[in-house]
Amino acid sequence: MGPATFSDDLPTSLADLLSNTLILRQTAPYLPVAALCNLSRASKSLHQVVLQSPEAFRYLDLSPVKSAVVPFDGPLDVGGVSFRAERMDEALTEDDFYSGPLRGIFARLEKIHVLRNIHTLILDGLSVTAELVKELITEERYNVRILSIREVKHLNERKLQQYLRYAVRPSRPAGTPRVKGIYMFGPRDPVSSPPPSTTKKPNKSTPRGVMSSQGAQIGAEWNQKSSEALNVALAQTEDRWYRSSGKMILKRPSAEWAEILQACEGIIAFDAVLCRGPRHDPSRVYTREGTASGVPHPASFLRPTIATVALGPSGCETCHSCPEGAAVFGQSTKSQFPLLSPVPLHGSSLRAAQIPHTTDGSSAPPLIARCEDCLKGRWCERCHKWWDEGCYIGSTVAQRTELQQTELTESLQPNGTSHLIPKQTIKVIGVRRDCFGCGHTCISCKELFIRTCKKCKNEYCREDNEASSDIMCDWCNYTSRRTVEMY
């Protein structure tokens, strides 16, 4: 007998599909909030599926919601004009004003009984006050586990630091705080934008040399893409913290934030970690004293600092390791790993936000991250090559140093035997600032990008001086009449 057919059965409806918890859990994070609300109004069955299932609003991104944006973004009460022009209640505080749109959204979500279903909340770029963050962390009506407040406005960081200290105090109630991870130091996740219109005419700009030509720009773009692809292939992961990505946090956090990360260790994780370099450990630091000239010694003690530079899994350029030991996911403590971007869509646990994903499914690469003070004079800002304290102690002034090293070369004898012969070689390590645009670079990057002008004998950067050529700087290569522009 063949397979049974049921011609009288109705086709599977959308409500039947979304009533499957697995399907709804995988689908809902890709739908905007407006789409979920419109879907709940389509029919009674969909209304019941969307509003009564805990998976529909588990992941909530309010960043693109227009009603969450404060209509008036200027400062309040500038000479008493702006405040009265808004026709607001005299008892309205600044916190109530700036957090008003989000509080209104949360009130509506609580009214339809879905506020406690939100486990991942993204408020990037919105007006978020410290008092609102405190409520999200401490109040029982919220059940947020992962909170993202990157690039928010009107956030009083000092108040937020006080609230975080209070939330992780030793005498806090059991099971609190519910928030296990906060994104706030890194940049926002990129938003996919529509392709540019083809009808718009490009702006005419003055030519600035061969580097401004279309071919040169295409070549530079492909060079950047190939460099990123090579970096991903070497690290076997697309997570930038586990690659030699360089600066991960453009704006350096204050020293108080390092103390907050220490206080929240093991309780709340952030999208940043503390630097574990030997200069932050009093028992392992090389020296505590400064130099005779008053300049800090390159190996002196440093206060706890947030790591802002991702160095990749290869380690030091010479010994291919690091004194503090690389952090290995699954073996090291959880406090040594940052929350990875983007925010996970289908998981609200700390592990889902911290676990790195490899391209070939292998084990995660080691994590090495440090602060800029630990890398001063020993990290190339272009190729991200670096040397640890054991291989190169550095100097008070960033400069390259020639070190004499002994390398063993194999020599073949006439009788067929071979033996090793020591050979003295000169190796240049360290960095120096030859170009303000490139920053501190190693000798290899200097040989690639720094040229000596054949005419004026001055050094110039081939990449930052767009009007230059391979043999002359931009000034000597400029063929037009030279005039002094007074204004």
Please write the tens of the pLDDT for every residue from 110-136. 999 999 999 999 999 999 999 999 999
Report the percent of the chain where pLDDT is more than 90.
Answer: 38
Q: What is the pLDDT of residue 415?
A: 63
For residues 304 and 255, state if they share a domain. yes
Tally of domains within the chain: 3
> When comparing pLDDT for 344 and 210, which is higher?
344
pLDDT of 98 over the 70 cut: yes
How many Å apart are CA 371 and CA 280, to the nearest integer?
10
Answer yes or no: do 363 and 435 share one domain: no
Question: Rounded mean pLDDT of 12-29?
Answer: 88
- Domain around 27: 21-72+92-183
Residue 213 in this model has a pLDDT that exceeds 70: no
Q: What's the average model confidence in pLDDT over 405-427?
A: 54
Model confidence at 209, pLDDT cuts 50, 70, 90, reads very low
Given this model, what pLDDT does residue 474 score? 82
The verdict on residue 407 lying in a domain is: no
Q: Are 247 and 309 in contact (CB under 8 A)?
A: yes
| Residue 168 and residue 287 in one domain | no
329 shares its domain with 387 = yes
* Residues 373 and 277 reside in one and the same domain: yes
Q: What is the mean pLDDT of residues 80-90?
A: 48
What span, in angstroms and rounded, lies between the C-alpha atoms of 191 and 219? Answer: 25
- The angle subtended at Cα 277 by Cα 276 and Cα 281, nearest 5°, is 80
Domain identity same for 138 and 272: no
**DSSP secondary structure of 209-256:** SGGGSHHHHHHHHHHHHHHHHHHHHHHTB--GGGTT-EES-SSPPPHH
pLDDT of residue 480 exceeding 50: yes
Do 44 and 175 share a domain, yes or no?
yes
Which of 362, 382, 402 represents a domain boundary (last residue)?
Answer: 402
Is the residue at 8 inside a domain? no
| Tokens 């979920």, residue located | 36
β-bridge pairing 146-148 and 120-122: parallel
* 352 and 465 part of one domain: no
Of the candidates 166, 183, 200, which is a domain's last residue?
183
Residue 342: per-residue pLDDT = 92
* Residue 290: pLDDT over 60: no
Residue 450 lies in a domain: yes
Residue 96 is assigned to a structural domain of this protein: yes
Query: Residue 200 has what pLDDT?
Result: 46
Q: What is the pLDDT of the chain when averaged over all its residues?
A: 79
Mean pLDDT of all residues in 423-428: 52
Higher-pLDDT residue of 399, 368: 368
The answer to whether the beta carbons of residues 340 and 237 sit under 8 Å apart is no
Q: Same structural domain for residues 328 and 468?
A: no
Q: Is residue 109 part of a domain?
A: yes
What are the structure tokens assigned to 155, written together? 């956030």
Do the Cβ atoms of 279 and 393 come closer than 8 Å?
no
Question: In this predicted structure, which of 252-256, 282-286, 424-428 has the lowest mean pLDDT?
Answer: 424-428
Whether residues 134 and 252 share a domain: the answer is no
Domain stops at, among 402, 420, 455:
402
Q: Is 482 helix (H, G, I), strand (E, B) or coil?
A: coil
Same domain, 253 and 134: no
Residue 131's pLDDT is what? 94
pLDDT at 448 over 80: yes
Q: For residue 368, what pLDDT is reported? A: 94
Does residue 422 sit within a domain? no
Considering only 7-11, 90-94, 178-182, 400-404, which range has the smallest mean pLDDT? 400-404
Distance of alpha carbon 297 from alpha carbon 301, whole angstroms:
9
pLDDT of residue 210: 46
What distance in Å separates the CA atoms of residue 342 and residue 354, rounded to the nearest whole number? Answer: 11
Instruction: State percent of the chain over pLDDT 70.
Output: 72
Q: What is the pLDDT of residues 158-172, one digit of tens each?
A: 999 999 999 999 999
3-class secondary structure, 324: coil
The answer to the question of residue 423 being in a domain is no
Evaluate whether residue 81 is within a structural domain: no
Distance (Å, whole) CA 356 – CA 328:
10
The whole-number pLDDT of residue 14 equals 87
Higher per-residue confidence, 370 vs 212:
370
Give the whole-angstrom CA distance, residue 339 versus residue 350.
Answer: 8
Band of pLDDT at residue 469, cut at 50, 70 and 90: confident
User: What is the rounded average pLDDT of the residues 389-408?
Assistant: 59
Residue 376 sits in the same domain as residue 458:
no
Q: Where are the alpha helices (DSSP H) in 316-376?
A: 350-354
Provide the CA 112 distance to its chain's centre, in angstroms. Answer: 35
pLDDT at 68 > cutoff 90: no
